[in-house]
């Protein structure tokens, strides 16, 4: 009998094109997602070398990062962003790549549209010039964020040179309490291991709590794998996965669908397979989480206290925490609960799918957002937007006093017009709270859509469980 | 790609842990479609005030930093976004190496593709370097050694393939293209699961 393998090793082995001594593996890539920000220099590289895109049929493009979320008829006022968006469309035309541009009913955040269109499938290797590519791991794919040089490599050869990573099992067992969500699982994991805790590793999320998550909730968990330093993160496919994929635009149909399903059922980790590292989390012990600092590892339970730098012995670590609290203008040792907020952002590749919007709407329904708070609700794709509108969610958001926008990365990355003013505080469902991430001088508290909606109503960092 | 040669340089120190790529180059500068002109935007929000004037107390604005080719930073340097603009900005400022106790994976890969050497040193060597703010270090990739101001030589790990590419000036895309027959053979035996153009 062959050695038991994890799903990570199985997908890897299935995609090795060549392995030479003293070189990384050459892996074949099944799906390459392209967006406007990390691709123009790669296309220029192809032109300079006189190369074509090897597999335009495995490549898809959309605009999301530098694109405004204002009504689609409006021109892009930022000339530099407009040039970048036009450049992507031109590059796609020149190299024969299908693009869902601004104005398309399929446009959206790359990590939302890949699964939504059925492009992302179990067992695939997926790459994108974006660190949140691990999102696609929710479907049981090995999905890796890459740099622009690698975007060029994959465009030219459909292959990626990659060293094997360590395997890291994240087992989450038990049932989440009301008010606690997938976002809280991942924020709790990162708070526990730190933002470099999984450097050199790929997570496999497993356990009964992960199994009971919907596909979209699994995407939220996998999305933030990079915030723990992991190269990727995935969940082995199961019936939840197969039901999600079935019937989507690019999903295999009929006999091809049956064959695919038979292959996908071989993917889950074998009994007896071992991991390089392991951690176990008890889902029932988790509280709603919120970050207080300037990296996603600086998270606490919503009723917890901000840590005190004087409790830390390592000088650089202590200094990091002290600097973070100065930047955030927060006193050590005090709870965040009740801290005033200026902006609430519900969106991003972490939490902009229909289930995220439904749960935010369920909290906001029949309530008003605080008059002191600007609330942006930004669907992850035009299809999510259409669905939300069909369900009347947009009306719930508007009635509550929130701003209902067009699809894009929006205030997660603040390079598209949506941003914080210096000194402002946000509760944000996005993935990063780095200094200036949501706008120069802006201060971000990362949390779940439920926590964000509750905080929008009170105008303060709030515990959603008081509203349930 | 130019061959990576040994050099000696004074260090610039930014002694913070977890310096993320949003600090190395903020996202609003990623709207460019070019690889060049990013050196002035390196560490922009730490380096310039609200009016865009250089902050005199920030190390990169001090005249003696201009000639420094080595950056000494805290643990887990380059975490966060995959933007290759980070190593582009660092090299365009003039850096050829960054020393830390660890690097984020994507940043490390991006750096090695741009002749920026990520040097991982053990904690004790890191402490010794931090205590010698004006000192010079020697970087020799061929022997994988960093010579500390005390004269002590510290070996650092580098992926053997990346080292070979840097020393010989080999471009990775060229290397992948040489494996065309293996790629074609893989494609012949693995029908595509999707056609994005359908």
pLDDT digits (tens, 9 = 90+) for A264-297: 999 999 999 999 999 999 999 999 999 999 999 9
Pairing of strands B136-140, B7-14: antiparallel
DSSP chain B: ------EEEEEEEE--SS-BHHHHS-GGGGG-S-SSS-GGGTTHHHHB-TTSPBPTTSGGGSGGGTT--EEEE-SSBTBS---THHHHHHHHHT--EEEES-B-HHHHHHHHTTT-EEEE--HHHHHHHHT-TT-EEEEETTTTEEE-TTS-EEE----HHHHHHHHHT--HHHHHHTTHHHHHHHHHHS--S--TT-
The single residue listed with the structure tokens 């984020």 is B104
pLDDT at residue A249 greater than cutoff 90: yes
Three-state secondary-structure class, residue A458: helix
Mean predicted lDDT score pLDDT of chain A: 97
- E runs forming strands in A174-321: 201-206, 232-235, 277-282, 289-291, 299-301
What per-residue confidence (pLDDT) applies to A157?
A: 98
Contact A66, A36 (CB under 8 A): yes
- The per-residue pLDDT for range B30-75, each reduced to its tens digit, is 999 999 999 999 999 999 999 999 999 999 999 999 999 999 999 9
Predicted pLDDT of residue A225? 98
CB contact under 8 A, B33 and A319: no
| pLDDT, tens digit, 9 for 90 and up, residues A386-420 | 999 999 999 999 999 999 999 999 999 999 999 99
Residue B133 binned pLDDT confidence (cut-offs 50, 70, 90): confident
Contacts of A436 in chain B (CB under 8 A): 22-23, 26, 45
Question: What is the rounded CA–CA span in Å between residue A142 and residue A11?
Answer: 7
Q: What is the pLDDT of residues B79-132, one digit of tens each?
A: 999 999 999 999 999 999 999 999 999 999 999 999 999 999 999 999 999 999
pLDDT in tens, A436-466: 999 999 999 999 999 999 999 999 999 999 9
A437 has a chain B CB within 8 A of its CB: yes
Query: Which residues neighbour A394 within 8 Å (Cβ) at sequence distance 6 or greater?
Result: A385, A388, A404
pLDDT of residue A106: 97
Q: What's residue A22's pLDDT?
A: 87
| B34/A149 touch (CB, cutoff 8 Å), yes or no | no
State the pLDDT confidence band at B1, using cuts at 50, 70 and 90. confident
Nearest to B45 among A87, A252, A440 (CB): A440
Between CA A125 and CA A17 the distance in angstroms is: 13
pLDDT tens digits, residue range A53-105?
999 999 999 999 999 999 998 899 999 999 999 999 999 999 999 999 999 99
Q: Could you tell me the pLDDT band of residue B10, with boundaries at 50, 70 and 90?
A: very high
Let me know: does A443 contact A425? Beta carbons within 8 Å.
Answer: yes
Give the minimum alpha-carbon distance from B47 to chain A in angstroms, rounded to a whole number: 13
Pick from B104, B194, B197: CB nearest A31 = B194
Residues of A in contact with B170 (CB under 8 A): none
Task: Give the span between the Cα atoms of A250 and A20, in whole angstroms.
Answer: 34
What pLDDT, on the 0 to 100 scale, is given for residue B134?
83
How many Å lie between the alpha carbon of A391 and the closest alpha carbon of chain B? 29
Interface of A with B in 313-342 (CB under 8 A): 316-317, 319-320, 323
Integer Rg of chain A from CA: 21
Q: Is A343 on the interface with B (CB under 8 A)?
A: no
Determine whether the interchain pair A437/B31 forms a contact, defined as Cβ–Cβ distance below 8 Å.
no
Cβ A134 vs Cβ A114: under 8 Å? no
pLDDT of residue B178: 96
Which residues of chain B lie closer than 8 angstroms to A64, CB-CB?
Answer: none
Q: Which of B31, B100, B104, B127 to mutate to test the interface with A (most CBs of A within 10 A)?
A: B31
CA distance B144 to chain A (A): 16
Greatest extent of chain A over all pairs of C-alpha atoms, in Å: 66
- pLDDT at residue A176 above 90? yes
CA distance A157 to A170: 33
In angstroms, the CA A240 to CA B48 distance is 50
A1 confidence band (pLDDT: 50, 70, 90):
low
Q: Does A23 touch chain B (CB under 8 A)?
A: yes
Mean per-residue pLDDT, A150-169 = 98
User: Using CA atoms, how far apart are residues A116 and A104, in angstroms rounded to an integer?
Assistant: 15
CA distance A395 to chain B (A): 32
Tally C-beta pairs within 8 A across A and B. Answer: 204
Q: Do A195 and B79 touch (CB under 8 A)?
A: yes
- Average pLDDT over chain B reads 96
Q: Are A24 and B159 inside 8 Å of each other by CB?
A: yes
Say whether A24 and B28 touch across the interface (CB within 8 A). no
Between chains, do A196 and B192 touch, taking CB under 8 Å as contact?
Answer: no
> Nearest C-alpha of chain A: how many angstroms from B122?
15
Which DSSP helix (H) or strand (E) runs through A342? none
Amino acid A4: pLDDT: 98
Q: Most A CBs within 10 Å: which of B27, B158, B172, as the mutation test of the A interface? A: B27
- Model confidence at A316, pLDDT cuts 50, 70, 90, reads confident
Residue A197 vs residues A279, A318, B111: alpha-carbon distances, Å: 11, 17, 21
Contact A30 B194 (CB under 8 A): yes
Contact list, A26 vs chain B (CB under 8 Å): 176, 179, 182-183
Hey, is the C-beta of A87 within 8 angstroms of any chain B C-beta?
A: yes
State the DSSP code for A45: H
Alpha-carbon distance B17 to nearest alpha carbon in chain A (angstroms): 6
Q: Do A87 and B30 touch (CB under 8 A)?
A: no
Handedness of CA B84, A425, A183, A412 (dihedral sign): negative
Write down the H helix ranges in A143-250: 148-157, 182-193, 208-211, 215-223, 239-245
Q: Does A295 touch chain B (CB under 8 A)?
A: yes
Mean pLDDT, residues A242-253 taken together: 97
The SS3 of residue A162 is strand
Please say whether the beta carbons of A37 and A64 come within 8 A: no
- Enclosing H/E stretch for A13: helix A7-14
Q: Which two tokens stand for residue B78?
A: 């380059």
Segments of A302-407 assigned E as strands:
343-346, 374-377, 403-404
- Say which of B17, B102, B104 has its CB closest to residue A320: B17
In the predicted model, is pLDDT for residue A109 greater than 80? yes
Name the residue of chain B whose CA is nearest to A27's CA: B183
Tell me the mean pLDDT in the region A175-195: 98
Q: Which residues of A touch B22 (CB under 8 A)?
A: 432, 434-437
User: Cα A384 vs. chain centroid, distance in angstroms?
Assistant: 16
């Amino acid at each position: 009998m062959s050695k038991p393998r994890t799903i990570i090793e199985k997908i890897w082995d299935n995609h090795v094109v060549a392995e030479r001594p003293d070189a990384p593996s050459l892996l074949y890539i099944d799906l390459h997602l392209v967006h406007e920000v990390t691709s123009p220099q790669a296309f220029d590289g192809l032109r300079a070398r006189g190369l074509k895109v090897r597999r335009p049929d495995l490549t898809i493009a959309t605009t999301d990062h530098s694109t405004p979320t204002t009504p689609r008829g409006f021109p892009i006022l930022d000339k530099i962003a407009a040039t970048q968006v036009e450049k992507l469309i031109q590059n796609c035309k020149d190299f024969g790549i299908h693009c869902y541009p601004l104005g398309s009913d399929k446009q959206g955040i790359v990590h939302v549209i890949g699964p939504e269109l059925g492009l992302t499938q179990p067992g695939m290797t997926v790459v994108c010039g974006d660190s949140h590519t691990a999102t696609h791991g929710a479907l049981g794919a090995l999905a890796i964020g890459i740099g622009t040089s690698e975007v060029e490599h994959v465009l030219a050869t459909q292959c990626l040179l990659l060293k094997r990573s360590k395997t890291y099992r994240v087992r989450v067992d038990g049932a989440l309490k009301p008010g606690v969500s997938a976002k809280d699982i991942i924020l709790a994991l990162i708070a526990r291991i730190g933002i470099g805790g999984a450097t050199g590793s790929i997570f496999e999320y497993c356990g009964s709590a992960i199994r009971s998550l919907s596909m979209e909730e699994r995407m939220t968990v996998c999305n933030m794998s990079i915030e723990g330093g992991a190269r990727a993160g995935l969940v082995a496919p199961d019936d939840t996965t197969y039901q999600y994929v079935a019937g989507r635009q690019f999903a295999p149909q009929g006999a091809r669908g049956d064959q695919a399903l038979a292959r996908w059922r071989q993917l889950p980790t074998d009994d007896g397979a071992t991991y390089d590292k392991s951690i176990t989390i008890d889902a029932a012990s988790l509280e709603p989480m919120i970050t207080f600092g300037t990296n996603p590892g600086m998270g606490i339970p919503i009723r917890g206290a901000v840590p005190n730098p004087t409790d830390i012995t390592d000088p650089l670590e202590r200094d990091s925490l002290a600097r973070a609290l100065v930047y955030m203008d927060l006193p050590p040792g005090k709870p965040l609960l009740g801290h005033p907020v200026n902006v609430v952002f519900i969106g991003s590749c972490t939490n902009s799918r229909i289930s995220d919007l439904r749960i935010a709407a369920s909290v906001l329904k029949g309530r008003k957002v605080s008059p002191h708070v600007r609330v942006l609700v930004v669907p992850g794709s035009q299809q999510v937007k259409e669905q939300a509108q069909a369900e009347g969610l947009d009306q719930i958001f508007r009635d509550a006093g929130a701003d209902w926008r067009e699809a894009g990365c929006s205030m997660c990355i603040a390079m598209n017009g949506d941003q914080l003013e210096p000194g402002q505080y946000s509760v944000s469902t996005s993935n990063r709270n780095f200094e200036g991430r949501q706008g120069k001088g802006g201060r971000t508290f990362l949390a779940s859509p439920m926590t964000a909606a509750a905080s929008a109503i009170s105008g303060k960092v709030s515990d959603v469980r008081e509203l349930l | 790609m130019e061959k990576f040669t040994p050099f000696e340089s004074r260090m610039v120190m930014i002694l913070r842990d977890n310096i993320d790529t949003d600090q190395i180059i903020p996202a609003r500068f990623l709207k460019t479609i070019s690889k060049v002109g990013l050196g002035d935007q390196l560490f922009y929000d730490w380096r310039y005030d609200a009016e865009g004037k250089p902050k005199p107390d920030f190390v990169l604005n001090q005249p003696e930093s201009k000639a420094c080719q080595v950056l000494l930073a805290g643990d887990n340097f380059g975490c966060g976004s995959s933007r290759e603009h980070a190593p582009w900005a660092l090299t365009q400022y003039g850096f050829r190496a960054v020393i830390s106790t660890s690097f984020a994976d994507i940043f490390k890969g991006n750096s090695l593709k741009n002749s920026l050497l990520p040097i991982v040193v053990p904690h004790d060597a890191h402490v010794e370097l931090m205590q010698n703010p004006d000192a010079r270090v020697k970087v020799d990739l061929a022997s994988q050694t960093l010579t500390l101001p005390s004269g002590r030589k510290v070996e650092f790990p580098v992926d053997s393939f990346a080292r070979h590419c840097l020393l010989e000036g080999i471009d990775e895309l060229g290397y992948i293209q040489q494996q065309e027959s293996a790629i074609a053979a893989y494609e012949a035996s693995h029908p595509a699961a999707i056609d994005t153009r359908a």
